[in-house]
Amino acid sequence: METTLKKIIVQGGPFQFVGRLEEEKAPRTCQRFLEMLPFKSKVIHSRWSGEAVWIPLGDFDTGLDFENHTSHASRGDILLYPGGFSETEFLFVYGSSSFASKMGQLAGNHFFTLTEGHEHLAAFGKLVLWEGAQDIVFSLADA
């Protein structure tokens, strides 16, 4: 399956981002994510992870283990915590971040990296911080 040529569009509140899947480093996570598209939810500001927003998924069973996991993602990285210690969640990093929960340090599967829209990351994060939950949609770009 050749998904590396496919673009993923992220509409977060009024901002649009474009990104690529990290298929070589996290193939199972990327495949599972593609099965979820289009994915629509609300994004809220992180409580323990610094400059990041997150999408809580509760006890959703991804069927995944750790792959390409990190606690220290970069601006524009999106992680999937597959569940276990804490609830399943996506973490969308917009600045300095160290992935954590009330249970302590976490590591999530880095499976997605933004390639366009970095200039809107800080504004997006501040919007979620000061104005509350925002709609977020991940979808495959039209060919």
pLDDT tens-digit series, residues 29-84: 999 999 999 999 999 999 999 999 999 999 999 999 999 999 999 999 999 999 88
Domain 8-140: CATH architecture, name and number where available: Beta Barrel (2.40)
Listed in sequence order, the residues at least 6 apart from 71 whose beta carbon sits closer than 8 Å to its beta carbon are: 98, 99, 100, 105, 106, 107, 108
Q: What is the residue extent of each domain of the chain?
A: 8-140
- Asked if 109 and 68 touch (Cβ cutoff 8 Å), the reply is yes
